[in-house]
Amino acid sequence: MLEQRVAAWTPRQPMPRSESLDEQSDGDFICRPMNFPEAIGSAECRAIVGLGQSGICVTAGLTHPVEGYRTGSTKLITSSAESRWLYERISDILVRVNQWYRFDITGFVDSLLYCEYPEHGHFDWHIDCGEGRTSTRKISLSVQLSDPAEYEGGGLEFAAHGELRGARRLGTAIAFPAFLHHRVTPVIRGMRRSLVAWAHGPVFR
C-alpha cells in the first residue's frame, strides 16, 4: 500500500498539474488545497460507488460529536482482495500529490471512507487532524464520485480559499493538508457522493 509506494515511486510519473497552482509559488504549496481533474476515471468512480454502498456503516464526524454538525451517511471500504486495486490507486495519487507538499508520510491508518450527502446533507467547518488516531493525518484526499448535474449545493469549501475551480467534475481528486478548515455546504437537490482518504505520518511539529 502507501508505505510500500513511498519507497518505490519515482517522479518519472508526475501527476497532472493542479488547476489550483497556476499562480502560486513553491513556498505557498503547504497551505493550499489542490484539485487534480480526472484523477479517477468514470468507470472507476462507478466501481468505487459499488464498493462504498456495500461497505461497513460508521458514524463519522467530529472527535467530540455535536448533534446536527454532520448529516449524511458514511461507510468504510476496508482493505480486501476486492478493494486492493482502489487502495493501490489512492496510495499512488497520495504519493504523487506529496511531491508538492513534501510531508513525511508513511501509510494508511484509516480505512477509505465512502460518503453520501442527500438533500440537506452537510458537514460544517472542521479540520481532519486532532486527537488520537487522527493526530497523524498529514494529507486529506477527497475524490468526486457524483456528476455535477446530479446535485446542487454540497460544495467542498475551504475557509481561506472557498470552493476550488472545477472541483465538482467527476473523478476530480482534491488534496489538502489535514489541518485546513473546510466544510461541505448543504445539498439543495440530489445526492453528493465522494471518497475520502488520509495519508498519515509523524505528528506535525
Residue 199 C-alpha from the chain's centroid: 10
- Which stretches of the chain drop beneath a pLDDT of 70? 1-29, 61-67
Nearest to residue 111, comparing CAs of 177, 196, 45?
Answer: 196
Overall CATH class of domain 29-200: mainly beta
The residue type of 89 is R
Tell me, what's the pLDDT at 7? 45
Residue 99 C-alpha from the chain's centroid: 17
DSSP annotation of 40 = S
105 and 201 Cβ atoms separated by less than 8 Å: yes
- Using CA atoms, how far apart are residues 196 and 140, in angstroms rounded to an integer? 7
Does pTM surpass 0.85?
yes
Indicate the helix (H) or strand (E) that contains 99.
helix 84-101
Tell me, what's the pLDDT at 191? 97
Q: Is 134 helix (H, G, I), strand (E, B) or coil?
A: helix
- Domain parsing of the chain, residue ranges: 29-200
Tell me, what's the pLDDT at 56? 95
153 and 189 Cβ atoms separated by less than 8 Å: yes
Tell me, what's the pLDDT at 160? 84
